[in-house]
Structure 1
Amino acid sequence: MRPPLRAVALLAATAALLAACDSGDDWSRPRPAPTAVGSLGPGFVDPSTPPAPEATITPRPGSWADVHPSKGYRVVLLTAGSDAPTKALVTAVRDWADDEHVDLRTVVVDNAHDAVPSISKAMEMGPDLIVSAGNELIDALALVTPNHLDEKFLVVGAELAEPTHNVTAVDWDGASYRGEGLGMSSSYDAGSFTAERCAAAVRAGVAAVLNDLTGIVVWL
């Protein structure tokens, strides 16, 4: 027996609604550029003297706390490694995304050979920002980022030796891995990757990016 026409119509309408929801979730629809909600506090940076490219700034603790991303901010978390510091950074990014209602997606890099293709995959998703967590990604980022200056990257807990204007890093004494054969910093301390430090790194870094303070190192 064929179902009643009314039932068929209802099923079709439901399917169309689900399809519309799915298509709206693929980051393909155009929308306004993201903006900063709130302002940087005193001591984050001297507004009369913007930092030069590749400069290091040391903002006053908490001067980034009132900056939030606008609604619908799209972020890809790019992560590699299973060490404790990387796990702490990943947790901090996910907690921040939950608190700020950020649309967060994750790309996990299983091995060094997959790093460059994984960065490409993250870019193809069309995010507003790619956040990198894990020292294993640094060399690949140094290779890829200069060729994609329209993409914004935030590196937390490490930095690139020669960042272009689209790469912002947040670092501190105890982290500061730079890759490119430079080896691990003599001051590296896995214990410095506390939950509080990692959370501050994510928020300070995003605050810098949202205020167009990019291509620099934010030192905590």
Structure 2
Amino acid sequence: MRPPLRAVAVLAAAAALLAGCSSGDDWSQPRPKPIPVGALGPGFVDPSHPPIPEGTVTPRPGSWDAVHPPKGYRVVLLTAGDDAPTRALATAVKSWAEDEDVDLRTIVPADAHDFVPSVDRAVRMRPDLIVSAGNDLVDPLAMVTPNHLSQQFLVVGAELAEPTHNVTAADWSGASFRGEGLGMSSTYDPGSFTAERCAAAVRAGVAAVLHDLTGVVIWLDEHPPA
């Protein structure tokens, strides 16, 4: 016996709705390069002196405020560490993602042996951007990022000693950990990881990535490091 036409229509609509939801959550599907909403303000960079690879950009405070990611921007937050600075950075990323309607997924490594595999897992998810929070991830990122040059990374509250063009950092004097056996900077200050400073690092860093100012350090102090 054939089901009533109304029942068939209801089932078809439900199937289409489920298919639409699953495809929207499927990051494996290719998508165009993300286009920023809004433009960088005066003072973010000096047009007459564009940043060189591995260079430092000291933007005017607030010059990134008008820049927003497109709706549904795909971001993986990769975070390791239970110290107060790492928690503050992770909280800033999550708050920004909620405010900006970002599609955020989080990876927390199980232990130190999982640091490098966790970076690989993040890359395999094919996000628009991987944001790293926590000094413990700096050296693992230095190992993995040169092998995935098409994937954009943003390191907040730290930086890589020799970043490739796909790794951008948002840093300041109280947070300038660089890994690779260089030790903690003499200016390191856990108290400098305020909610305001961490939020600025996330927004300024993302604004730079969206405008293809990558492979540089976005320095949030008034004066760049010597």
1:204 aligns with 2:204: yes
Per the TM alignment, residue 92 of structure 1 is displaced from its structure 2 partner at its CA by: 0.4
| Structure 1 unmatched runs, 5+ | none
Q: Distance in 2 between matches of 1:32 and 1:147?
A: 22
Per the TM alignment, residue 11 of structure 1 is displaced from its structure 2 partner at its CA by: 4.2
Match of 1:148 in 2: 148
Match of 1:119 in 2: 119
Write the mapping of 1:18-37 to structure 2, written as runs, cut at 5 A. Answer: 18-37=18-37
RMSD of the alignment, in Å? 1.7
Per-residue deviation, residues 83-132 of structure 1 (Å, max 9, x unmatched):
11011001100111111111111111121111111111111111010000
TM-score (norm 2): 0.91
Match of 1:189 in 2: 189
Match of 1:215 in 2: 215
> Number of matched residues?
219
AA at the equivalent of 1:14: A
* SS at 2:173 equivalent: coil
AA at the equivalent of 1:161: A
- Give the percent of matched residue pairs that are identical in Structure 1 and Structure 2: 76
TM-score (norm 1): 0.94
Q: Distance in 2 between matches of 1:145 and 1:32?
A: 22
Match of 2:49 in 1: 49
Per-residue deviation, residues 120-175 of structure 1 (Å, max 9, x unmatched):
11111110100000001000000000111111000000000000000000111111
* SS at 2:146 equivalent: helix
| Structure 2 unmatched runs, 5+ | 221-226
Per the TM alignment, residue 28 of structure 1 is displaced from its structure 2 partner at its CA by: 2.7
Runs (4+) of structure 1 exceeding 3 A deviation are 2-13
Q: Distance in 2 between matches of 1:20 and 1:59?
A: 41
Q: Distance in 2 between matches of 1:62 and 1:139?
A: 30
* SS at 1:121 equivalent: helix
1:69 aligns with 2:69: yes
1:40 aligns with 2:37: no
Write the mapping of 1:90-129 to structure 2, written as runs, cut at 5 A. Answer: 90-129=90-129
Q: Distance in 1 between matches of 2:88 and 2:2?
A: 54
